[in-house]
Chains A and B, each alone.
Chain A
């Protein structure tokens, strides 16, 4: 059972870690399109998987955020990776499986997964 006691434990662990975060300008942002089109195409499990994977791999420099319609509804779910000083990478028709690879290859090791990008899909 998940209890309020478990939550207090999480709080104590977090309170120790929270001050040693990377500054905003050095963070990588991963943006997920969560408008009606994205949600209908499966963006919710994709977002949940992203949050889980990023936390499991302790990628402290990565922030996962949500946005509205990214603009190409037929290619949803879409996620964008914005790394400081690099060109934006757009991944399309993302699934929970693809998320695992995007996190392990791109976010953890800096290697763009070309086959999932919008360039490869068009």
Chain B
């Protein structure tokens, strides 16, 4: 993937497919510690330990037509090529938490890219789920939650284009406040 924000989109699609109704996305970046960590946590169907052991291997997927489920193995490879690693914790019936960390200054680390765009697209596709987004840097943290916006919208769907455009802009501005 050209941007880590696209991996985030892809990984969060797994959470949606797993039937989650709460998905927490976080990007934590520290220049001091030379770390960049992205995480996606959901309360979806989770995975059995045996299955979990196999999902990072590109020759496993639940899809029958195509043998290779690529999303997780791809992110794992990107993390490992940038001096980092991928961790997944999952419990059947409870949910899944995926964390990919990168050595921030590593030459092979993909750029973070447009997380606000990813966030907007996720909400467009699943406007009834609750998403949170946390962006943390050495300078501070920005947090956004769809639940807060939903309460303010009083029945107007989050999938309305004007609402989506507002969310995108709000997240972009909020993030730039901690950069």
Contact = CB atoms under 8 A, between A and B. Distances in A.
A44 B6 contact: yes
B173 A2 contact: yes
A40 B152 contact: no
B157 to A, nearest CB: 8
Interface of B: 1, 6, 9-10, 13, 17, 63, 65-66, 69-71, 74, 114, 117-118, 120-121, 124-125, 149, 152-156, 160-166, 169-170, 173
A52 interface: yes
A47 B1 contact: no
27 contacts: A1-B173, A2-B173, A6-B166, A7-B166, A8-B152, A10-B156, A10-B160, A10-B166, A11-B152, A11-B153, A14-B160, A15-B154, A15-B156, A34-B121, A36-B10, A36-B70, A36-B71, A44-B118, A47-B124, A48-B117, A52-B161, A54-B161, A55-B161, A66-B121, A66-B124, A69-B66, A71-B65
Contacts of A40: 1, 6, 10
Interface in A30-89: 34-37, 39-40, 44-45, 47-48, 51-52, 54-55, 64-66, 68-69, 71
Interface of A: 1-2, 4, 6-8, 10-11, 13-15, 18, 34-37, 39-40, 44-45, 47-48, 51-52, 54-55, 64-66, 68-69, 71
A7 B117 contact: no
Nearest to A18: B156
A44 B161 contact: no
Contacts of B165: 52, 55
Contact of B152 (A7, A64, A66): A7
B120 A48 contact: yes
Contacts of A52: 161, 165
Contacts of A65: 125
A51 B155 CA distance: 20
Nearest to A55: B161
Nearest to B162: A10
Nearest to A44: B121
Contacts of A69: 63, 66
B152 A35 contact: no
